[in-house]
Structure 1
Amino acid sequence: MSDTPSGPRTAVVIGGSLAGMLAAAALAESADVVVVERDVLPEGPGPRKGLPQARHAHLLWSGGARAIDALLPGTVGRLLADGGHRIALPTNMVGFSPAGWFRRWAEQSHYVVLAGRDLLDWHVRRSVRALPRVTVSDRTEVLGLEGDARRVTGVRVRGADGVERVLAAGLVVDASGRSSRTPAWLREFGLPAAAVRTVDPGLVYASRVFRAPKDLGNTFPVIVNVQADPREAGPGRSSTLVPIEGDRWLVTLSGTRGGEPTKDPELFEAFARSVRHPIVGELISGTEPLTDVAVTRTTVNRRHAYERARLPERFVVLGDAAAAYNPVYGHGMAVAAQSAVALRDTVRALGWSAPGLGARAQKAVAGPVGAAWALSTGNDVFYPGATEDGPTLTERIGAAYVRRLLLTSTGNGRVARAVTDVVTLERTAARLFTPPVLLAAVLGPRREQLTGPPLRPAEREAIAGILP
């Protein structure tokens, strides 16, 4: 199949998870798209073999939710109608940061969408499958790239029948996740490797689903999050409780080296009580567990600077294949969605046949990637062993400023809004360096810090008998 300006336009997306499906949606207005996935994609909202992290809490920040709806209108609404939750931020978040408890300032625009990852992925997958120009080929393994150091012309694949063939393409997108083979493919083409930055706090995740007591999964839709503080002695431990579909609570615990949670169900609640505040452990006390404890150790922050590398033309890398984050900050899905929008907008602006299209798209993807990277690694670099040489001077200065902003936001609603703008990926990090925010950070919080979880009287009444 040719791919000249007058011939059929074709694209191949490697990887059928969230990032790959959204990339397919981004390209479907300009080309016929084939999504190649090595695993079997479930027909419904079931677990997928290649996504073990789906069992942990996932946050879809409003910046990502808006991007998904820009690509696949109505998808988020259908997810919410199917039991997902839309939680206003910071109004309905009970959060304990390294700088103190956040106040629940009134907010109408920021939010987070919460649902089980399998359900969320299914809604996205269903919307993409409905697009007339997208074909999904699962049980198909990508063996390598076709082309050379100058240009990628397709991919070599092996299907479920064992037959190898070439899928010609005018654009190839690698959205294959943390296991991406792009570094090896670049070596095969004789190209230098992209610069890589790795920050590994040694974090381990353990998650379990509980039946929300007294139907609180629907009447108490509040996120509860106790963050670790890397400045404290000993390992960093955190806990998160989120409501998901089916009147359930999904609880995720995490710990760095020397303080990791385990798969032992008898120790789950005790770990939740051992973090900087025991509220999550108290909330699940006496509740009915619905699953075993799922543990994941693949939590390294790793960013490939492909936007500065020499890549062959007509080749783009996005999602976890470009940058993978510590999942505790919840930015992976939102970055994948915004990266797909950046890809779509680049093709729209330049045209499908434009020279340098791949390189321009890769630079556009670097925008949301960089913002989430700064948020994910700002704390993680300070854990022992996270990097070979410790945090850089730039990282130390940046972390100090972010900590000052967090402290100020505990008692200043305008700064809290600015921070939430950036955390939800609604705005870029430049929002935090405007003169009003800089001045407010110098002056510090206007109100005294809260001394405990900011639960409202009605919420305390609803969970009476759970909390002491």
Structure 2
Amino acid sequence: MNASRSTGPSGLQFTHPFLAVVLGGGFTGMLTAAALSGYADVIVVERERLPRTPALPTDLPQARHAHLLSADGARAVESLLPGVTERWLAEGARALPLPSGASAAAPQGRSTRRPAKCLIACSRDLLDRVVREQVPALDGIGVLDATEAEGLTGTAEHITGVRIRDTVTGRVRRLDADLVVDATGRHSTTPDRLVQLGLPAVAEERADPGIVSATRIFRAPPGAPNYPVITARSAPEEHAGHGRTATLVPIEGGRWLVTLTGAGSDRPSEHADRFVPFARRIPQCVIGDLIADAEPLSEVHLTRDTASRLRRYEQLLPWPTGFVALGGAVAAFTPDYGQGLSIAAHSALALRQALRRRGLDAPGFARTVQQSLARIAQAPWTDATGRPLPAAAAGARPSAAGRFVRGAVNGVLGTTLGRSPVCRAYVDVVKPAARFARPSASVPLPAAAPAARRKPADH
């Protein structure tokens, strides 16, 4: 059959010589599909049925803790999905610049001045929804939702596809692919699936300070539509080495999203009547007072699984061709760190850059990509956990993307962590969307699709 006229299981008209399957239809999975667009036909496999309409503000289906997308992360997303930032802002997201004088920790204890950086502030629902609406419209991308990946097919040396099951009908089938990408996040089952194919267990680093996160949404009071982002932390030495934190993020729809964290005996509760008192116990913090009389729009959402995990796929030998894991499936961080979105964006961009430079069928393509993703995670992991990785494991120097993420984190948290109690407000100066729509000079433009090759079949 002519590949340009064949049809895949998602109704996708095959027009490219390669087929890639992306496991996970969340933020990371959709960005991964965008990175692959133009180089392969892409089928996104998502276990849940994706919403056909926006989620109601009081009926949010996922964990909704505070998320702030850094300017570096937004530029990475923008390079994959031109116009996405303008759409976020048009639907109520806000661009909040950090103070230009914010200092950040530097190597050897030095301090450095960083230029002004910005944050995209909105709900996670808005971030995901805009991306989810934009990606399937790209060339050669189809989505199979309500479909679960049951296992990988192939051998320890070469992954050839995935077994999928329709969660409604129960039908199981095999989907062959040139590349399978795991973008299922921190609860990825890939390590077990690789063992089933005969590979050794994947080494894993884990740091679990026992942090509990609690989030509630409030209606912003009249007269406070342009309130800034506020974050505060009590001194770590006062509370078993972690400290109590509170973050207030103004989100679309005239709402405030407030996330509290704590550890050990000093952690937030799912009980609504304890939410405000917990925030008020943070010294020099105004968040508790601000929300005391605000109308709550949701229940308290509590998350206890907040450990930071780093899976060392780059150490696995042999690494199978035809398979890559990225985003939270490789490195998942505690909510306090707050840069999972940016790391996912830079990881997807690294995949795009590898496709542009080498092509999907280049020898050792998957292993080269996996090693570059390890370098992206190196600096953020060290900053988030205080545990440096051996230089030989992930490269002697973090990648440019890893340094970008480190800079964004230090810019936000550098003046709040490990010091006396402090409450910071970020001045709200909304910039035109064009300010964020300009990719950095280091972001390559998409190249032409690779040369033709065989089309994998759907069985």
Task: Judge same fold: TM > 0.5, yes or no.
Answer: yes
Is residue 86 of structure 1 aligned with residue 91 of structure 2? no
Q: Which whole-Å CA distance do the structure 2 matches of 1:313 and 1:456 have between them?
A: 46
Corresponding residue for 1:422? 406
C-alpha distance in 1 between matches for 2:378 and 2:426: 36
Alignment pair present for 1:111 and 2:118: yes
CA distance in 1, matches of 2:30, 2:127: 12
- Write the mapping of 1:286-297 to structure 2, written as runs, cut at 5 A: 286-297=293-304
**Residue among 138, 141, 151 paired with 1:134:** 141
Q: Distance in 2 between the 1:114 and 1:125 partners?
A: 18
Q: How is 1:45-124 mapped onto 2 (pairs within 5 angstroms)? A: 45-46=54-55, 54-90=63-99, 108=116, 110-124=117-131
Match of 1:37 among 43, 46, 53: 46
What is the rounded CA distance, in whole Å, between the counterparts of 1:283 and 1:92 in structure 2?
26
Question: Does 2:232 correspond to 1:226?
Answer: yes
Instruction: Supply the RMSD in Å over aligned alpha carbons.
Output: 3.4
Q: Name the residue aligned to 2:437.
A: none
Shift of 1:291: 1.4
**SS of structure 1 residue aligned to 2:336:** helix
Shifted more, 205-214 versus 69-78: the winner is 205-214
The letter of the residue matching 1:267 is R
Q: In structure 2, what is the equivalent of residue 404 of structure 1?
A: none
Q: CA deviation digits over 1:400-449, x for unaligned, max 9?
A: xxxxxxxxxxxxxxxxxxx997342799xxxx9xxxxxxxxxxxxxxxx9
Change (3 A) 1:7 1:138: closer
> Aligned AA for 2:178?
G
Other structure's SS at 1:286 match? coil
Give the AA of the match of 2:50: L
SS of the aligned residue for 1:313 comes to coil
User: Which secondary structure state, in structure 2, belongs to the residue aligned with residue 162 of structure 1?
Assistant: coil
CA drift at 1:34: 0.2
Matched residue count: 390
Structure 1 equivalent of residue 164 of structure 2: 157
1:38-437 equivalent positions in 2, closer than 5 A: 38-46=47-55, 54-90=63-99, 108=116, 110-159=117-166, 160-216=168-224, 218-220=225-227, 222-234=228-240, 236-310=243-317, 311-378=319-386, 422-424=406-408
**Larger mean Cα displacement after TM superposition, 322-331 or 361-370:** 361-370
* 1:292 Cα deviation after fit: 1.4
For 2:426 and 2:178, the matched residues in 1 are separated by: 56
Matched AA of 2:406: V
- Counterparts of 1:332 and 1:175 in 2: how far apart (Å)? 12
Alignment CA distance shift 1:450-1:190 (3 Å): closer
Cα distance change, pair 453–354 in 1 and its aligned pair in 2 (3 A) = closer
Residues 1:458 and 1:203: Cα distance change in structure 2 (over 3 Å)? closer
Q: Which amino acid aligns with 2:78?
A: D
| 1:234-285 deviation digits (Å, cap 9, x = unpaired) | 3621110111001111100011111111111111111001124332112222
Which consecutive residues of structure 2, in runs of 5 or more, have no partner in the other structure? 4-14, 106-112, 391-402, 430-459
Any idea what SS the aligned residue of 1:179 has?
coil
2:164 aligns to what SS in structure 1?
Answer: strand
Following the alignment from structure 1 to structure 2, what is the Cα–Cα distance between the partners of residues 236 and 294?
20
Alpha carbons of structure 1 residues 90 and 74: separation in structure 2 relative to 1, 3 Å: same
CA distance in 2, matches of 1:362, 1:457: 38
Question: Taking every aligned residue pair, what percent have the same amino acid on both sides?
Answer: 43
Maintained 8 Å contact 2:207/2:309: yes
Instruction: Answer whether contact 1:238 1:276 (CA < 8 A) is retained.
Output: no
Once the two structures are superposed, residues 187-218 of structure 1 have per-residue CA deviations (whole angstroms, 9 ceiling, x without a partner) of 111111221110001111111111112231x3
Q: For 1:366 and 1:144, how far apart are their aligned partners in 2? A: 24
2: CA distance between counterparts of 1:328 and 1:304? Answer: 20
TM-aligned CA distance change 1:107 to 1:169, over 3 Å: same
Q: CA deviation at 1:457?
A: 12
Q: Which amino acid aligns with 2:121?
A: L
Cα deviation, residue 88, structure 1: 0.1
- Structure number with the bigger relative contact order (C-alpha 8 A, sep ≥ 6) is 2
- Kindly tell me: are residues 342 and 106 of structure 1, through their superposed partners in 2, closer, same or farther at Cα, counting changes over 3 Å? closer
Residue pair 1:2, 1:8 contacting (<8 A) in 2 also: no
Contact 2:325–2:370 (Cα < 8 Å) also in 1 = yes
Closer, same or farther: CA 321–453 of 1 in aligned 2, 3 Å: closer
Secondary structure in 2 matching 1:55:
coil
Residues 31/370 of structure 1: CA separation in 2 closer, same or farther (3 Å cut): same
Unaligned runs of 5+ in 1: 98-104, 379-390, 395-418, 433-448, 460-468
Q: Letter of the aligned partner of 1:242 in structure 2?
A: V
Decide whether the 8 Å contact of 2:232 with 2:421 is kept in 1.
no
- 146 and 47 in structure 1: CA distance in 2 versus 1, 3 angstrom threshold: farther
Preserved CA contact (<8 Å) 1:63 1:425: no
Contact 1:47 1:54 in 2 (8 A): no
- 1:115-161 alpha-carbon deviations (Å, 9 max, x no partner): 11111100011110111310000000111111001100110111132
Which structure has greater helix proportion?
1
| Partner SS state of residue 215, structure 1 | coil
